[in-house]
Amino acid sequence: MKSGSFYVSTVGRVLKWARANSLWYTSTGAGCCADEVLNASGNRYDLERFGCVPQVDAKQADLLIITGMISYKAAPHLKAVYDSMPSPKYVIAVGACANCGGMFAPEFSYSAVPGADRIIPVDVYVPGCPPRPESIMNGLIALQEKINGTGRNHHKAQ
Partner 1 sequence: MELAAIITKLNKAAPGAVLQKARFGRGGAQAIWIEARALPAVAATLRNDPDLKLDWLENLSVAQLEDALVITYFLRSRETPLCAILRATVTLNENESPAELPEVPSVREIWPMARSMERESSELFGIRFGGELAAAGILPKGWRGFPLRKSYVFPQEVFGIAHSRQGTDHA
Measured from the CB of residue 109, what is the shortest distance to partner 1 in angstroms?
8
Which of partner 1, ligand SF4, none is residue 97 near (CB under 5 to 8 Å by kind)?
A: ligand SF4
Q: How far apart are CA 146 and CA 118, in angstroms?
A: 21
68 binds ligand SF4 (CB under 6 A): yes
| Cα-based distances in Å from 123 to 4, 94, 104, 153 | 28, 11, 22, 13
Q: Which residues bind partner 1 (CB under 8 A)?
A: 72-73, 75-76, 99-101, 105-106, 110-111, 113-115, 117-119
Q: How far apart are CA 2 and CA 111, in angstroms?
A: 55
What single string gives the DSSP state of each residue in 125-140?
A: EE-SSSPPHHHHHHHH
Give the range of 21-29, 30-38, 105-113, 138-146 binding ligand SF4 by CB under 6 A: 30-38
65 binds ligand SF4 (CB under 6 A): no
